[in-house]
Structure 1
Amino acid sequence: MGVLVDYFRAPGADAVRDHLDEQEGDSPLGVFDGLGLKGIEPGVTLGQLIAFASDQQWRAGLVQERLIWPVGAESDLEYEGPWVSVLGDESRDVLAGLTAARIPDLVARWARIDEFYGDADPEHLREVLTELAALAGRAREHGESLYVWACV
C-alpha cells in the first residue's frame, strides 16, 4: 500500500480548507497548481532531498510541516485521511533555489536513499525534482506556501 501525495501551491490555508470542505477532501490538483508524487512524503523522503540540497544532515523535523486540514485529525487515532499540511517556507525556498546544474548531483544522492528501496529511476527523479523546484519557484514568486495533500 502506497501513500498518495500531492504537492501544490495556494494563496493561503483558508482557500485550501474551503476547497477541501467543498470537495470532501478530494485532491486539490486541477484547482491549485501542483503535482502528484506518490510515495514522496515530506518528512523523510523529501526531507532527505532538502538535507542534501542545503548541505545538512537529515533530522526529524528538518522539513517543518503543520496540519491544516481536517481540524482535529492529529488527535483522532481512527482517522485514515486524507490530510493536508503546509510546509515551512524554508523548504520551499531551498527547492525554489535549485539550479539545473545542481539537479544531477542531487538526484544521484537522492536515488540512493533507503526509502526508494534501491529501485529509484534516476530519470524519473530528475523530472520530479525539476518539476518540484519549478513549483516551489512559482509559489515563492507569488508569495504562496507549498502544501501537501496525503492519503493512504
Structure 2
Amino acid sequence: MIRAVGILCDYFSAPTDEAAATAADVPGGPRAASDPGFEVVELKGIEPVVQLGTLEALLTGVDYDVVAENPRQGHAVAVRHDGEVLVISLTDELHAALAGASESRLREVATPWSETEEFWGQGEPSVLAEVLIELAGLARRAAARGERLYCWVCV
C-alpha cells in the first residue's frame, strides 16, 4: 500500500494544542494515552507536512505554496527525544475540507494524490480512498466536538 520507511504517524483529535502536545510524552503516542484518551487513526508512512499539504491542495483547489504558508501547516506543537517524536498540527482548512467531503469526492481525489512523487509509485488509489474516508470520519467527529486535528510522528 504505502512505503512506510522509518516513520509512524497517528492522526488524532484534541481540544487544544496543549492537550495534543501531551501525546508526545506517552510511550506509544496517542493510541496508548489513557488520560486524556484520544480518538486515533493510524496511518503509517503518510506524513503530515508534504503528503497532507498536497492532499489539502487537491481537496481545496488552493495552490500548495499557499497551503505551505499557513502557520498551522507542519507546526510542531511538541518535540521530544531530539526530534524523534513530534506532534504536528494539521490546518483548520484541511480539517474542514475532510469533514465536508463526500465519499465520492474522497475517492475521486485519491487517484491524483496517489500519483504524487511522495508515494514513490506505491500509492494504490483504492487503498488511499479508504484511508481518506477513515480520516474524514475522524475530522467530522472532531468537528462535532470542537476539536482540531494533529499528527503524532515517531521516526
TM-score by length of 1: 0.84
C-alpha distance in 2 between matches for 1:122 and 1:92: 21
Instruction: Please report the RMSD computed on the Cα atoms of aligned residues, expressed in angstroms.
Output: 2.0
Q: Which residue of 1 aligns with 2:7?
A: 3
Q: 1:111 to 1:14 in 2, by over 3 A?
A: same
- The structure with the largest helix share of the pair is 2
- 1:19 positional shift: 4.8
In the alignment, is the contact (CA less than 8 A) between 1:2 and 1:38 conserved in 2?
no
TM-score by length of 2: 0.82
Q: 1:118 aligns with which of 117, 121, 129?
A: 121
Q: Which runs of 5+ in 2 are unaligned?
A: none
Give the stretch that moved more between structures: 92-101 or 9-18: 9-18
- 1:31-86 CA deviation, whole Å, 9 max, x = no partner? 3101111121121111111101101222234562322213xx6xxxx814111122
Q: Which runs of 5+ in 1 are unaligned?
A: none
Q: Which residue of 2 aligns with 1:52?
A: 58
Q: Which residue of 1 aligns with 2:17?
A: 13
The residue matched to 1:124 in structure 2 has which SS?
A: helix
In the alignment, is the contact (CA less than 8 A) between 1:11 and 1:145 conserved in 2?
yes
Number of aligned positions between the proteins: 144
Q: Does 1:139 align with 2:142?
A: yes
Identity of aligned residues (%): 38
